[in-house]
Chain A
Amino acid sequence: MSDAKQSEVVIECRDMGIWFTRGSRRTMLRQAMRRAFGRTVPEDSRFWALRHVDVDVRAGVRLGVCGSNGSGKTTLMRVLSGIYGHDEGIIDRREGTMSLLSLGAGISHHLSGRDNIYLLGSLNGLPRDQITELYAEIQDFCELDDDVLRTPVRYYSNGMRTRLGFAIVAFITPDVLFLDEIMAVGDTTFRSKSAAKLQELARRARCVVICSHDIGFLKRHCDEAVWLHEGVVRASGDAVPVLNEYADFAISARQVS
């Protein structure tokens, strides 16, 4: 573990904070204008989803993120992967591509399966010729034949759509891979196939950030962990002690209630 500590930092996040607006939005023109033209929203209608967060994502490390509902896990994943901007502090992304896997995100229903492979591949930063190279493999993986891939996705069954969605993301190889409660999908065969694919994907990525409620899963797969509680980091460091601490907390919280 000490080796990992020395290894190069890929994403450095210092004293990071992000706020959202509380209450009903867009009801008053003045407030809307304020959001559109100055970013200052009155302090009392802000709510800090994350604040004073320090996280390092290091090369070769699998980082687990745990915490109860509403603690800011998903927000952290989105901020680190660049979907959300942050309002405070510094996030330094050293290099490489980031991808937050989310199944079925961005599938266009009027496009054919083939066109979707190209669209989603390029949305995730794959160059066109690389998608062409991977095409046969993707098709093979999702078990859809040429005729199906020429059909607009809106005529697909749910299962076909899920398989297509999974197959596309499964072949993206980002430097940093974010997994938000991912999940094997499909029927029994496809489920084991997709689980295996995820493992392979995680092995290929330089670093992986996984967020999950499943402490056992995180213990098995992560080297380091961050415990978020109400938007702040409650503990971070080597996976097992942090996860144990969180597990104790979760049990005691349940007993109190």
Chain B
Amino acid sequence: MSSAFSLPMVIWRHRALVGAFVWRELKARYEGSAFGRVWPVVQPLILFAIYFLIFSKLLKIGFTDTLAPHDEAGKGWRTTFYLITGILPWTALAECLSRGTGIVLENANLIKKIAFPSELLVVAQVIVFHVYFLIGFAILIPLELYVNGSLPPELLWAPVVLIVQAMFICGITLFLSAANVFVRDIAQAVPVLVTFWMFTTPVFYDLGAIRQAAADQLVDVQNRMALGQKTLADVAEAQASLDGVELGMTAMEYNPMASILDLWRAMVTYGGPEGDMTFPVGKLVTVSIVSVIVFVLGYTYFRSCKHRFADEV
């Protein structure tokens, strides 16, 4: 097992190679594009604008902004913070998984001809998408300064959460990229599964707000039943939908990505549940343990079959 933790050493020893891979990826993405290096900044902004319009203005799912009633300044801003802290980590995960799954196969000509630690291909991929993540995350800083005039001290947790998130993503990507060498159907299945995972993770919706709305609805129906406007069946229906939301919230406890999003959200103003900002250290500990396990399993699997890559790719 100890060898599964040797990745930092491998990365350090081959740091020039990691740098060259990262550079190659960045160059490949923007080579020949007129705006080149502006894209990493512009892309998340545009994405954010689209999601903001669709989810908050058109669909109005759980973004009533009634959740920060104790702070007038927060009115109108919660959705913004909530969406940014959801979209950025999610994009990092989704891009790593969909680009990273095929990375070993794509580099067949290297793997067949040169002996080098192939896990660094995956590592470089994870680094690239976390560079984008950080560029996007930097947008939050002027935003915080504008809305609050200061930066929340909880942002100091960011490096820790960043490492936990990168480890989690790296573990999954290592597993997928290695397994995909042998079972190439994985590359076909990953985009579908990532989409499914996205909708089962509160990236664009706020379960807390949805639960609040369902609870309000239940109280309303009960009151109106007392006035004789609603029947017992209506109450049961409202109760069932509240139970459904609560079941969903329990299920989220088992979705590490949902917890990672919660951690990011707890760092920014109005991002946390009910707009509060107590950093959930307990949740961080749990997610860290899960990430380490995912990473060790993924890397152990990768190491166990990488000696067959040159033959199979």
Interface residues of A (CB under 8 A from B): 20, 25-26, 29, 32-33, 35-36, 39, 78, 81-86, 98, 100, 102, 105-106, 108, 110-111, 115, 118-119, 121-128, 131, 152
Given contacts A98-B115, A111-B28, A131-B16, 6 further A-B contacts (CB under 8 A): A36-B181, A83-B111, A115-B27, A118-B16, A118-B23, A123-B17
Inter-subunit contact B114/A35 (CB<8 Å): no
**Range of interface residues on B (Cβ < 8 Å):** 20 to 34
Inter-subunit contact A100/B308 (CB<8 Å): no
Docked Cα-Cα span, A20 to B312, in Å, equals 9
B5 CB, min distance to chain A CBs, angstroms: 21
Inter-subunit contact A110/B113 (CB<8 Å): no
Partner of B307 from A26, A81, A85, A123 at Cβ < 8 Å: A85
Interface membership of B110, Cβ < 8 A: yes
Inter-subunit contact A110/B28 (CB<8 Å): yes
Inter-subunit contact A122/B312 (CB<8 Å): no
A116 CB, min distance to chain B CBs, angstroms: 9
- Residues of B within 8 Å of A125, CB to CB, are 14, 116
Inter-subunit contact A83/B310 (CB<8 Å): yes
Closest 8 A/B residue pairs (Cβ): A85-B307, A36-B182, A105-B113, A82-B115, A122-B16, A128-B16, A122-B17, A119-B20
Q: A100-B113, A123-B110 are in contact. Are A128 and B27 (CB under 8 A)?
A: no
- Residues of A within 8 Å of B182, CB to CB, are 26, 32-33, 35-36
Docked Cα-Cα span, A35 to B313, in Å, equals 13
- Residues of B within 8 Å of A32, CB to CB, are 182-183
Q: Name which residue of chain A comes closest to B305, CB basis.
A: A36
- Residues of B within 8 Å of A110, CB to CB, are 27-28, 31
A221 CB, min distance to chain B CBs, angstroms: 23
Partner of A127 from B16, B23, B24, B307 at Cβ < 8 Å: B16
A115 CB, min distance to chain B CBs, angstroms: 7
Docked Cα-Cα span, A194 to B263, in Å, equals 58
CB proximity to A under 8 Å, residues B103-125:
109-116
Q: A32-B182, A39-B308 are in contact. Are A128 and B113 (CB under 8 A)?
A: no
Interface membership of B71, Cβ < 8 A: no
Inter-subunit contact A83/B113 (CB<8 Å): yes
Docked Cα-Cα span, A33 to B308, in Å, equals 14
Docked Cα-Cα span, A155 to B177, in Å, equals 31
Q: A105-B110, A106-B113 are in contact. Are A35 and B16 (CB under 8 A)?
A: no
Interface membership of B179, Cβ < 8 A: yes
Q: Name which residue of chain A comes closest to B184, CB basis.
A: A26
- Residues of A within 8 Å of B19, CB to CB, are 122, 128
A17 CB, min distance to chain B CBs, angstroms: 13
